Amino acid sequence: MSIDSSNPTTTEKTTGRIRLKNQEAILAAAAEEFACHGYKGTSMNSIALRVGLPKANLHYYFSSKQGLYVEVMRNILELWDSAFSNLRAEDDPASALAEYIRAKMEFSRRQPQASKIFAMEVISGGECMAEHFNQNYQEWFRGRAAVFQAWIDQGKMDPIDPVHLIFLLWGSTQHYADFSSSICRVSGRSRQTKEDFAKATANLTHIILKGCGLTPPVKA
């Protein structure tokens, strides 16, 4: 009987799973540290302590704090962009935008630290993300704006500036993560609940879609 050497062994599969699990744990711990203390206030040692790994093990996965920080940022943007990349010119804009708003609000609810890290990076000048926002990203952004323009040209929605609509979508959905502390203070709550996010999502959907001349889809 021949053995297919192209298939990974059980040991290799186990090692791969452990490596992936450790990487995910490190990224999650790093996100917490960067969100609480910023890039300058965070050390590889504090991340190692939070994740419960020796500092040497941390350097095995990520050689530097900057490399780890950039990877955290890259994961954030890939998560957000994946939802936005699904919009198509042939879609119904009301349904597509409602689903995108819901997805972004879920990101803010489930991963508020990620949004805060991104906000702090942008406010500080965005130097660490300069490479990400390159020509390819700019072309991707123009492609997203072109989808909105296609909806406008087809008479599916009001003639508004697609770029400013994108900025509105990004800013309004991320607000509930970035400014969660002020939202809680103003509303007199200790934290935002799942029900709070559902209500906010419904209101954002109504306001934004109506502003685009669209009728919000009826929730099943």
- What domains sit in the chain, N to C, each tagged with a CATH number? 7-63 (1.10.10.60), 73-211 (1.10.357.10)
The whole-number average pLDDT for the span 16-45 is: 88
pLDDT, average across residues 165-177: 95
Backbone angles phi, psi at 5, to 5 degrees: -75, -10
Average of per-residue pLDDT across 198-203: 96
For the ranges 29-38, 156-165, 191-200, the lowest mean pLDDT is seen at 29-38
Residues 199 and 136 sit within 8 Å (Cβ to Cβ): no
Residue 14 has pLDDT above 90, yes or no: no
The mean pLDDT value for 166-175 works out to 96
Is the pLDDT at 8 greater than 90? The verdict is no
Of 65-69, 128-132, 165-169, the poorest mean pLDDT is in 128-132
Instruction: Check residue 22 and give its pLDDT.
Output: 87
pLDDT at residue 213 in the model: 97
Sequence-ordered list of residues with C-beta below 8 angstroms from that of 145, at least 6 positions apart, any chain: 162, 163, 166
The span from the first CA to the last CA of the chain, in angstroms, equals: 56
